[in-house]
Every structure is written in C-alpha cells, then in structure tokens.
A and B are shown apart, each in its own frame.
Chain A
C-alpha cells in the first residue's frame, strides 16, 4: 500500500483552481470537496490528505514537514523564503507584485513610507533599487494606506488592477510575475520520491498541454 501524501492547500480561490487541476490530473477527489469547512480532508482513493491553511502559511507547514507537498503563490514564496523545493509552476492564479501610489504623489522624500502585506519583498526590492524606505506591515486593505496618509506608496499583488483604479491609485513599478507553485519538503522529496515524482509529472503534463492550447 502506498503512503498517503499530505498536501497543504491555501484556502479560497487558489484551492478551487488547484482541486480542478488535481482532478484533471486524474486524482479522484470526492464531489463537494471544495465546500467542506473541515481543515483536514482525507481523499483515500487518491492517496492524499489535504490540510487547508492560510495562503501565507502553506510554506511553513511544508518546511516543517507536517505536509509533504503544498501549493503556494510565488508572492508567498518570495516573502517567506522557506527551505522547500519549488518544483513546478502551476500557472494558476496569475497576478503580479507591483508598487503603487497616488498619481500626484510626492516621490522625492528622503525616507518614504511603504505599506505592504509583504514587508520582506518590499524592503528587498527597494534595497535593490538603492532606495531608502521605511516599510510598514499591514494585513489587508493596503490601498487605504496612501489614501489617508499612512504611507507614500504600497507594494501589493495586482490581478486586474480594478481595486487600484477604484481607489484612485496608479501602478508605478512592476516587481515580479506571480503564479501558484507546487512546493515540496526536502526530506519528503527523497523519502517519497516515487509518489511525489508521479504527482509532479502528471501535473507538469497538464500544465504544459494547457500552455500549448492557449
């Protein structure tokens, strides 16, 4: 009997897309699976067990080895810098990280304030640009910060740009393209090499074929 692989999944939109992908890759997942409110869901027919975590926490579960594999956004990977293998670009949940601010903002300050949910990414990015900034960590509604004067600019993910627009902000610089990635714990990668390789290959074929069609 094969060992059950534990997979850490981000709750919400990415989870649905990822479940879709897994089904297409031939993993029999029970119906109405996505609607469950459980945090741990077993799918014995597929030999998988899912744990549902906050997107930002997925790499943590995988790094500590309580999950063998996981699906995490590249934004989270950049922010958290966890010791895990990033093996496959699933090409779902596409968006990008960008700097945004008010159109008439004053960008000449000595140490401008930057609000972000991604303080590491933000400070790393501005350091690379040779700019001295002060980063303020926020947990959501980042667009609010420049509007009421908490920060001069923000670093956040942009998918359609609608939120920025509706709040009167403009995109200033693009930092990086973001998609969801399949990540693997280093020990599991070797202990369960066969099962993980199979899963990765099935997903890879699917993702690559999709790329060809489009």
Chain B
C-alpha cells in the first residue's frame, strides 16, 4: 500500500463544499421544521458507542461497522444508525419520561463501504422515532409525516411502498409449518432472488393450491386492491389481522390526505432486521435508492430493558438532495470593497445591510490581488474607496 496523497480521504468519506452545504441545510431545515411542528423533539447522541450495546442492537451488518478500541481495550463503534442509540437514551437518561415519546434527530451515521466508491460511508439522516405507541394511528402518523416532509421539500414525483414483515412470515409458516423450510424461502426473498424463490417453491412437495399461494406472494404489489388479493391467499388468523390493520392504516392515511402515493408491497423487505411489523420506503423519480425508509420495531426497546412498541423513519439526506435538480440559489450576495480610510463607513453600511437580512461580504481592497475575478462572485459591489468623503459620516 502506498502512502496516501495529501488530497486523499478514507473510502466513502466526502467533503461538503459551500454550494452543496447551503442546499443541504435549506432542505434539512424545511424537514426539521415540519417534524418539530408535529411535536417531535430533536436530540443528539454521541458519535461513539459501545459495540456490545448499540453496535449489536443496530441492524447494520457487523462488517459495515467502523470499530476502534478505547483506552481500556473495549470495542467502540461509530454509530451506524440512530434508532439503536435513541432506544438506549429512552431506556436510560429518559427512563422516567412516560410513553409515548416523540423524538427526532439529524445526525451523520457511519457505514463502511467495502466494495467500491460511489457510496458514502458517512451520511446524514434526519428522522423521527415514535416510541411507546403500538396503534395504527402511530403508523399513520409516521407515514403521513414522511409524506408531508417529502411534499413540503418540493419533491413532486414520489412513491411510498408499504410492506409488512408479519404477513409474509405468517403465510410462509401457515403453508410450510416448520420454520426451517420457511427460513429458506425468507432468505430468497431477502436476497431479492425471485428466480431462486420460484424454483425452490416449485420443488417443494406441496399441493398445487399452496404452490400457487406462495408464487402469488411475489405479485402482491400495487394499490389498495393488493390487500384484497392478499386476503384471497387465505392467510391464517394473524395474517388476516395484519390485513385488517393495513386497511385501517389506509383509511387513516386518507384522512391525512396522504394516501395518494402509497402502494402496498408485500415483497418489500428491509435490510434492517429489527423491524417487526410494517416497513416502508420512499422513492423519488430518478433516484436509484430509497430516499427515506422506516418501519415498526417492537422488540428493539426490550434489548435495552424498557420494552415498548415503536415506529420510526429516516430521511437519507444524500439521496433526498439528489432528487432536486434546480440549483435554486436565489439569495443575493453583495460585497463592500473598501480602503482603510473609509472603513468606518463600510462597517456602518454592512451592519445596516445585515440587519435587513442580506448577505454582505466586507473586503479590504488591499487584500485582493485580482479585483475583477473577485468581483464576479457577487451580484452587487459597493466601492468605498479613497480618502474623498462621498457622504457625511
């Protein structure tokens, strides 16, 4: 391995330059404002956590964790997601605050990229967690808020897919009985390998009705009618219950006026293994990965000894930002070029402009080598040059 060049950064690490930073901040603020107005309170957690606690509770693959050792030799991780740290906070520092809790975060998370560049190893997530609430209303609230955030940010063309881990598990268990055989099929579904799933199903010694039920599962994607199609697969009692819940959820979303871009998709699996109920992902036109994702995780809190149902979602800022093409940098930038004789005058002008909310740069003329080049960066330049007093001071 050769010594890195001075311009090099570790794989997947990125600099954020002014133009992008501003765009990111503006959109992030819109998102945060919306979340705050729904009563979600922002919190921050440390960048480093113990591997044994948060590292293991998080659903990120172990090989994707950045690990280091502390002074005592304990393994630390750079937090790979925010849900596990928040579960830790809720069960410790906020142990005495009664459920339900509405918390939000806006933080970078870290996931090592082994394969190649093109994907960041550090990226920002803005999200919410609604903890201690197990009803359909909580699910509707999370989905409606996610929809609202996407809409308010100005993304027009988007789809939100909603799936349910429980329905699939119940259907497989109902048909296959023992968990081992179901586990094989679940693995194919998780790997998104439908070819493998289909040929495996066809090899199983099942009645043709059951084979059809299993194959039909792959087609359960689309509008509200999908719930009827799912019901036609004669799920067991628990499966029927899931469908009833989803029907209720859809009605609630209609009340929120957030049902328009919702599709149901029972083939949706998340790589986050802690999800226990509904899972959902948001997609925007032209972006090849989900801009937002979330789901219900009713077992995570018990790992931290404060058992509670919970639901949450996170916006992936890097993909989210990609959905905006326009640069939309409309703020006017002004500059005062002054010489020392007129510094006081310049200061006064700058102060009044800043009070008005403008962006104004003060630049001593003697500090700039190429004035023409420098001037190009601004929409307007005020010259306060020379000893001659233009106006009274």
Contacts and interface: CB of A to CB of B under 8 A. Distances in A.
Interface of A: 63-66, 74, 83-89, 181, 185-188, 190-191, 193, 197
A213 B12 CA distance: 51
A8 B336 CA distance: 53
Contacts of B284: 191
A158 B283 CA distance: 40
B139 interface: no
A63 B194 contact: no
Interface residues of B, number: 22
B222 A85 contact: no
Interface stretch (B40-48, B251-259, B286-294, B361-369): B286-294
Which of A83, A181, A193 has the most chain B CB atoms inside 10 A of its CB?
A193
Contact of A188 (B198, B281, B288): B288
Given A87-B194, A185-B288, A186-B192, 8 more contacts: A63-B288, A65-B287, A89-B199, A187-B287, A187-B288, A190-B263, A191-B284, A193-B263
Which of B192, B222, B265 has the most chain A CB atoms inside 10 A of its CB?
B192
21 contacts: A64-B118, A65-B287, A65-B289, A66-B288, A74-B195, A83-B192, A84-B192, A86-B193, A86-B194, A88-B194, A89-B198, A89-B199, A181-B195, A186-B192, A187-B283, A187-B288, A190-B159, A190-B265, A191-B285, A193-B221, A197-B221
A172 B289 CA distance: 41
Contacts of B222: 193
Contact of B290 (A66, A74, A187): A187
- DSSP class of A's interface residues: helix, strand, loop or mixed? mixed
B288 A86 contact: no
Contacts of B193: 86
Contacts of B177: none
B41 to A, nearest CB: 31
Nearest to A187: B283
A76 to B, nearest CB: 14
Interface string B266-296: 0000000000000001011101111000000
A117 to B, nearest CB: 17
Contacts of B265: 190
Contacts of B287: 65, 187
A86 B194 CA distance: 6
B196 interface: yes
B285 to A, nearest CB: 6
A66 B196 CA distance: 25
B165 interface: no
Nearest to A190: B161
**A-B pairs, 7 with minimum CB distance:** A65-B288, A85-B192, A187-B283, A89-B195, A190-B161, A86-B193, A191-B283
Contacts of B159: 190-191
A88 B263 contact: no
Nearest to B193: A86
B289 to A, nearest CB: 6
Interface in B287-326: 287-290
Contacts of A87: 194-195
A64 B290 CA distance: 11
A74 B193 CA distance: 11
Contact of A86 (B195, B221, B290): B195
